Amino acid sequence: MDPRWQGLLVGILFGIVLQRGRICFNSAIRDVKMTKDNYLMKMALVAILVETIGFQLAAQLGWIKLNPLPLIPLAQIIGGFLFGMGMVLAGGCASGITYRIGEGYVTAFVAAVFFGVTASAVRGGPLSFINNWLGKPITTTNNPNGFYAAKDGAVNLTIANLLNINPWIIAIIFAILLLIIVIYWKTTERKVSGLNWITGGISLGIVGIIAYLSQKTYPLGITGGWVNLFRTTTANLDLTQPIPYNWMGMEIVGVIIGAFVAALIAKEFRFRAPKDPKTFAQVALGGILMGIGAGSAGGCNIGHILSGLPHLAISSIIFTIFAVLGNWLMVWYLFERR
């Protein structure tokens, strides 16, 4: 099957799970600090746990080569921080604003357009000078068990290849740690009408594994998809030519369709817009910060947190830490100061 059809189908699945599980990494990170609510965080941890073992197993069986995102420390520190602040302003992470378009959120659409355009500008557009400032990737030649994708012998850094030990060891330690947290951290009580934290987390993890098996080069992502959609659409307006939309671009279209259908069936679709026009300026600014952050850091909450952490990639660990710090700073500024 054409990879674009595969991307579309995986995207639809992803959109349904995001909508039914109400999965948003902005809420997951924020709620832990602001309201001591860990419901969505635990869902995310379950997904990362499932993927950690799933990716490793798929690599062991030779179905994929693990492909951690490149480590450019400044890019992940600054990019992660800006992304973390941006998602609070935008009212959702990269995947959150994408699936909420399918639920009829006008502000999510505005945030996503500013996010996509800015990320495109950073990745090979007029803002690409930002990437030149941030430096070049740090790689290694260690490739334990040949699990990792190598380019001219160079492999992106993970904890396992940094220490040059079997990646299973790190994956199992990480999975056990996650399991302990998931079991012993008391879950916030909540009456849910969609997927609960366990089924939502497992479903999300499985969609991530299916995505990796389908796309081969990486599991789920959002930023690359929006960049593909914007750049292809604006650069190739000659519709007689074949259009180079790719797996990830079609995945984005799928997420919106999947969320739309799921919301429609659950009677949760509705056009919603805030009364105060200032909110639109706020979400646009959030989209821009997210676009600069994810565009330069090499990924967003999905590329780095959901898909990158299960690799135990150093880049994704740094991005996650700084995205959390950026998120918490903005949460304090917007909601907790007085």
Partner 1 sequence: MSNEVKPTYTLDERGEVCPVPDVDTRRKLKEMKSGEVLEVLIDYALSKERIPAGVKDVGGEVISIEEIGPSEWRLLIKKL
Binding site for partner 1 (CB under 8 A): 22, 24, 26-27, 30-31, 34-37, 39, 91-92, 96, 105, 107, 188-194, 266-270, 272-275, 279, 282-283, 335
**Nearer to partner 1 by C-beta: 55 or 109?**
109
**What phi, psi does 224 have (nearest 5°)?**
-60, -35
> Residue 185 CB, nearest distance to partner 1 (Å)?
15
Which residue carries 């995947």 as its tokens? 95
Residues with Cβ within 8 Å of residue 317, at least 6 apart in sequence: 159, 309
**Nearer to partner 1 by C-beta: 91 or 224?**
91
Treating both helix axes as pointing N-terminal to C-terminal, what angle do 94-102 and 278-297 enclose, rounded to 10 degrees? 130
**Nearer to partner 1 by C-beta: 156 or 282?**
282
**Count of C-beta atoms within a 10 Å radius of residue 61:** 8
Residues with Cβ within 8 Å of residue 168, at least 6 apart in sequence: 56, 60
**Nearer to partner 1 by C-beta: 42 or 123?**
42
> Residue 308 CB, nearest distance to partner 1 (Å)?
24
**Nearer to partner 1 by C-beta: 151 or 190?**
190
Treating both helix axes as pointing N-terminal to C-terminal, what angle do 106-122 and 223-235 enclose, rounded to 10 degrees? 80
> Residue 27 CB, nearest distance to partner 1 (Å)?
6
3-state helix, strand, coil in the chain (%, to 5): 70, 5, 30
Q: Which of 15, 182, 213, 218 is nearest to 108 (CA)?
A: 15
> Residue 22 CB, nearest distance to partner 1 (Å)?
5
Instruction: Give the span between the Cα atoms of 17 and 255, in whole angstroms.
Output: 9
> Residue 29 CB, nearest distance to partner 1 (Å)?
12
> Residue 188 CB, nearest distance to partner 1 (Å)?
6
> Residue 273 CB, nearest distance to partner 1 (Å)?
5
Q: Cα angle vertex 79, ends 77, 80, to 5°?
A: 65
Q: Are 16 and 259 contacting, i.e. CB atoms less than 8 angstroms apart?
A: yes
**Nearer to partner 1 by C-beta: 57 or 106?**
106
> Residue 28 CB, nearest distance to partner 1 (Å)?
12
**Nearer to partner 1 by C-beta: 73 or 194?**
194
**274: burial class by Cβ within 10 Å (0-12, 13-18, 19+)?**
middle
Cα–Cα distances (Å) from 332 to 34, 61, 290, 300, in that order, read 8, 46, 18, 22
**Nearer to partner 1 by C-beta: 158 or 282?**
282
